[in-house]
Amino acid sequence: MVKNMGIGKSKMIMVIILTMKLFLLFAFNLIFYISYTQSDVYGIEGRFKSGFLLAHRGVMAHLPQHMAYTTELSLYRKPGGNKNWHRAYKYPQHGMTFIFGSVGNNDVLGYLFGSYGYIELPIVKRNNFLLDWKFGFGAAYSSKKYDPISNPKNAAIGSHINALGCLGVRASYFFNRQKLTLGVDMTHFSNGAYKVPNLGVNVPFVSIGYGHDIISVKRDSNLFQDDFNSKWNFGITAIASAKQLNLNTDRRYPVYAMDLFARKNFTQKAGLELALNLVSNQSLKETNSTEIPSQKDILQMGLYAAYILPMDCFHFVFGMGAYVKNKLMPSDPLYHRIGMRYIFKNGMHAHVVLKTHYARADYFELGLGYTIKSLFNK
């Protein structure tokens, strides 16, 4: 009976953590679309994408069976320049996309349904032609996941709910408030090692699309000016996560972490973050050692630097760090983090960040923090 109570408590904690992740992913998507509703142009766009599943590990060689394909519907906004960052990024289109499709093996991997927030940053603008690069982040539901009895061949996806990320380049031709698009992108699905197997799915796509502006609204360009802060800011972020180690048990190990950071925006489009990362990864207790490691042994310390892509209240983070204390994982001296943060006006911030060791996901970070602004002048 005690054992069953322990299992029930473990499942309850798992559900709470998963619910928090889904809520934050949905909130980021929703904020991405709604928080910028003061705009000049709103529109709708449809895309068809075709590609193939990359078998990036040997155990996935059997998975690609047919071409991957997705259908996407996007609600977009093209800003008219009522914020400084609009002009700095050459008036980037952004919005929310809803996606449905197959990644190349319906029998084993099933179908995917999801949504993600995205932004497209112009590279070249010439009259009716636009070349831009696009990135987005959201969540997707996979109709099939690994099961040791009913679906043992699925070595890529261990959970129904997965994070979705995409990065690509697109060309657009505009005419009469309409546009035709042609693009290429890489789309990734995984759950950040929350549940194994988690090799993830990587699909390069070629896309063709059609968009149409629906409504245009004039705004006073002086109403929503955002202040550019180029001073050093300091703060702290508290982080929590969980990860599963192997298929033989449903046990998930908690991860607790803290960042002490200094951040500075050098331009409207570029910032730097320097941080000390402190991590207590309880999964490191599961070692081949005959002795159970102490909390001091599993404590990891790292020095970290990141490029910040600031867009008003959103900060996109691309960083790498090096461990200065990593007793139980000496074979992984470096780590990487990619994700985004939302900065509230009261100094608080929330972030969703994926931590990896090169191409191997470690875990998703869910964080809340506080920033002390403008301690030093320019």
Domain boundary among 166, 182, 216: 216
> For position 264, which CATH number holds?
2.40.160
**What pLDDT, on a 0 to 100 scale, did the predictor assign at position 228?**
63
- Provide mean pLDDT across the span 170-183: 96
- CB neighbour list of residue 288: distance below 8 Å, 6 or more residues apart: none
Same-domain pairing of 78 and 142: yes
| Terminal Cα-to-Cα distance of the chain (whole angstroms) | 63
Residue 138 lies in a domain: yes
Tens digits of per-residue pLDDT, 178-214? Answer: 999 999 999 999 998 888 898 889 999 999 999 999 9
Q: Quick one: which of 228, 337, 329 has its CA closest to 275?
A: 337
The length of the chain is: 378
Same-domain pairing of 202 and 271: no
Same-domain pairing of 348 and 243: yes
Same-domain pairing of 285 and 199: no
Residue 6 lies in a domain: no
Residue 343 lies in a domain: yes
Helix, strand, coil share (%) of the chain residues, nearest 5: 15, 55, 30
Same-domain pairing of 169 and 24: yes
* Count of domains observed in the chain: 2
Domain boundary among 159, 183, 216: 216
Residue 20 lies in a domain: yes
- In angstroms, the CA 171 to CA 139 distance is 25
Residue 228 lies in a domain: no
Same-domain pairing of 242 and 309: yes
Same-domain pairing of 109 and 242: no
Q: Which domain holds residue 109?
A: 14-216
Same-domain pairing of 161 and 253: no
User: Given pLDDT bands bounded at 50, 70 and 90, which one contains residue 329?
Assistant: confident
Same-domain pairing of 180 and 92: yes
Tens digits of per-residue pLDDT, 45-84? Answer: 999 999 999 988 888 889 988 999 999 999 999 887 777 8
Given a cut of 70, whether residue 263 has pLDDT beyond it is: yes
Same-domain pairing of 34 and 155: yes
Tens digits of per-residue pLDDT, 83-138? Answer: 788 888 888 999 999 999 999 999 999 999 999 999 999 999 998 999 999 999 99
Residue 5 lies in a domain: no
Same-domain pairing of 64 and 129: yes
Residue 224 lies in a domain: no
Given a cut of 70, whether residue 37 has pLDDT beyond it is: no
Tens digits of per-residue pLDDT, 307-323? Answer: 999 888 889 999 999 99
> For position 96, which CATH number holds?
2.40.160.20
* Statement: the pTM of the whole predicted model exceeds 0.75: yes
User: Given pLDDT bands bounded at 50, 70 and 90, which one contains residue 287?
Assistant: low
**What pLDDT, on a 0 to 100 scale, did the predictor assign at position 7?**
46
User: Given pLDDT bands bounded at 50, 70 and 90, which one contains residue 39?
Assistant: low
Same-domain pairing of 210 and 351: no
**Whole-angstrom Cα Rg for the chain:** 22
% of the chain with per-residue pLDDT over 70: 84
Mean pLDDT, the chain, rounded, equals 85
